[in-house]
Amino acid sequence: MITAAAAVTTTQTLKLGGPLVFALAAIGPGIGIGLIFAAYINGVARQPEANGILRPLAFLGFALTEVLALIGLVFAFL
Protein backbone atom coordinates (compact mmCIF):
# COMPACT_ATOMS: atom_id res chain seq x y z
CA MET A 1 0.00 0.00 0.00
CA ILE A 2 1.39 3.29 -0.97
CA THR A 3 1.03 5.92 1.67
CA ALA A 4 0.64 9.52 0.78
CA ALA A 5 4.01 10.33 2.26
CA ALA A 6 5.76 7.64 0.26
CA ALA A 7 4.07 8.76 -2.92
CA VAL A 8 5.76 12.13 -2.80
CA THR A 9 8.86 11.91 -4.87
CA THR A 10 11.80 13.68 -3.38
CA THR A 11 13.62 16.02 -5.68
CA GLN A 12 17.02 17.44 -5.15
CA THR A 13 16.95 21.19 -5.13
CA LEU A 14 19.00 22.52 -7.96
CA LYS A 15 20.12 26.04 -7.28
CA LEU A 16 18.58 27.61 -10.34
CA GLY A 17 17.40 30.89 -8.89
CA GLY A 18 20.50 32.97 -9.49
CA PRO A 19 21.36 31.85 -13.00
CA LEU A 20 17.69 31.97 -13.99
CA VAL A 21 17.53 35.61 -12.90
CA PHE A 22 20.49 36.43 -15.08
CA ALA A 23 19.17 34.40 -18.03
CA LEU A 24 15.90 36.33 -18.00
CA ALA A 25 17.72 39.62 -17.57
CA ALA A 26 19.97 38.98 -20.54
CA ILE A 27 17.21 38.57 -23.14
CA GLY A 28 16.40 42.26 -23.53
CA PRO A 29 19.95 43.60 -23.68
CA GLY A 30 20.87 40.83 -26.11
CA ILE A 31 18.21 41.98 -28.55
CA GLY A 32 19.02 45.62 -27.85
CA ILE A 33 22.73 45.29 -28.54
CA GLY A 34 21.93 43.41 -31.73
CA LEU A 35 19.70 46.26 -32.85
CA ILE A 36 22.29 48.90 -31.98
CA PHE A 37 25.08 47.30 -33.93
CA ALA A 38 22.74 46.44 -36.82
CA ALA A 39 21.97 50.15 -37.08
CA TYR A 40 25.68 50.98 -36.86
CA ILE A 41 26.62 48.51 -39.58
CA ASN A 42 23.78 49.74 -41.79
CA GLY A 43 24.82 53.34 -41.31
CA VAL A 44 28.48 52.73 -42.10
CA ALA A 45 27.54 50.51 -45.07
CA ARG A 46 25.42 53.21 -46.62
CA GLN A 47 27.89 56.00 -45.91
CA PRO A 48 31.40 55.01 -44.86
CA GLU A 49 32.36 58.60 -44.03
CA ALA A 50 29.95 58.47 -41.10
CA ASN A 51 32.18 55.98 -39.29
CA GLY A 52 33.77 58.63 -37.08
CA ILE A 53 30.40 59.97 -35.96
CA LEU A 54 28.65 56.66 -35.55
CA ARG A 55 31.31 54.70 -33.73
CA PRO A 56 31.20 56.63 -30.42
CA LEU A 57 27.41 56.49 -30.56
CA ALA A 58 27.50 52.73 -31.09
CA PHE A 59 29.79 52.15 -28.14
CA LEU A 60 27.78 54.49 -25.95
CA GLY A 61 24.56 52.67 -26.79
CA PHE A 62 26.28 49.35 -26.22
CA ALA A 63 27.45 50.33 -22.74
CA LEU A 64 24.07 51.74 -21.73
CA THR A 65 22.29 48.58 -22.85
CA GLU A 66 24.80 46.13 -21.46
CA VAL A 67 24.55 47.60 -17.97
CA LEU A 68 21.03 46.19 -17.68
CA ALA A 69 22.28 42.66 -18.26
CA LEU A 70 25.12 43.21 -15.80
CA ILE A 71 22.74 44.51 -13.11
CA GLY A 72 20.93 41.19 -13.60
CA LEU A 73 24.25 39.40 -13.16
CA VAL A 74 24.85 41.21 -9.88
CA PHE A 75 21.40 40.26 -8.62
CA ALA A 76 22.08 36.66 -9.59
CA PHE A 77 24.81 36.59 -6.97
CA LEU A 78 23.02 38.42 -4.19
Partner 1 sequence: MTPTVLTVAHAASVTASGPGFVAPGPKDFVYPPLFDTAGLQWLNKPILMFIISMVLVFVFYYLGARKRALVPGRFQFAVESVYDFVRNGIAKDVIGPEYARFVPFLATLFGAVLINNIFGIFPLVQFPTFARVGFPFVLAFFSWVTFLYVGIKRAGFVGYFKGVAFPPGIPFVVYFILAPVEILQVLFIRPFTLGLRLAANMFAGHLLLVLFTLGGAYMLTNDDSLLLTLLSPISFLAAILLTSFEALIEVLQAYIFVLLTALYIAEALQEEH
CB of 19 to partner 1, least distance (A): 11
Nearest to 43 by CA among 54, 33, 32: 54
CB of 25 to partner 1, least distance (A): 11
Between 8 and 56, whose beta carbon lies closer to partner 1?
Answer: 56
Between 48 and 56, whose beta carbon lies closer to partner 1?
Answer: 56
Between 8 and 77, whose beta carbon lies closer to partner 1?
Answer: 77
Interface residues with partner 1 (CB under 8 A)? 56, 59-60, 63, 66-67, 70-71, 73-74, 77
AA identity, residue 32:
G
Nearest to 69 by CA among 17, 15, 16, 33: 33
Q: Tell me if 33 sits within 8 A of 39, measured CB to CB.
A: no
* 25 CB-side CA count, 13 A: 18
CB of 3 to partner 1, least distance (A): 35
